[in-house]
Amino acid sequence: MSLVIPETMQAVQLDKDGGPLFVHQIPVPRPGASEVLIRMAASPINPSDLGFIEGGHGYERTFPVVPGVESSRTVAAAADLPHEVG
């Protein structure tokens, strides 16, 4: 089975501290070494997300940032992952 990976995607982003959330069209990232790309099916906004958006919970944020912790997802692509032979 092959998944088509688009060049861009829609994402809810926080552009600055205390700012409103916006929906932006952004490039789909490509996985680097030892990384995977996930396709999001659904993602709720829960209390931990609201805390993150408001600057709580001690998370380091680099703007713009896409909030969200929980989701229903599928691995869409993977970089060459090292493996041990044993």
Q: Does residue 86 fall inside a structural domain?
A: no
Q: Does residue 16 fall inside a structural domain?
A: yes
Q: Are 68 and 9 in contact (CB under 8 A)?
A: no
Q: Does residue 62 fall inside a structural domain?
A: yes
Q: Does residue 85 fall inside a structural domain?
A: no
> What's the pLDDT tens digit per position in 9-27?
999 999 998 889 999 999 9
* Domain carrying residue 41: 8-76
Q: Provide the number of structural domains found in the chain.
A: 1
CB atoms within 10 A of CB 53: 20
Q: Give the pLDDT of residue 63.
A: 93
Q: What is the mean pLDDT of residues 44-64?
A: 84
3-state secondary structure 12-26: EEECCCCCCEEEEEE
Q: Which residue has the tokens 């809810």?
A: 12
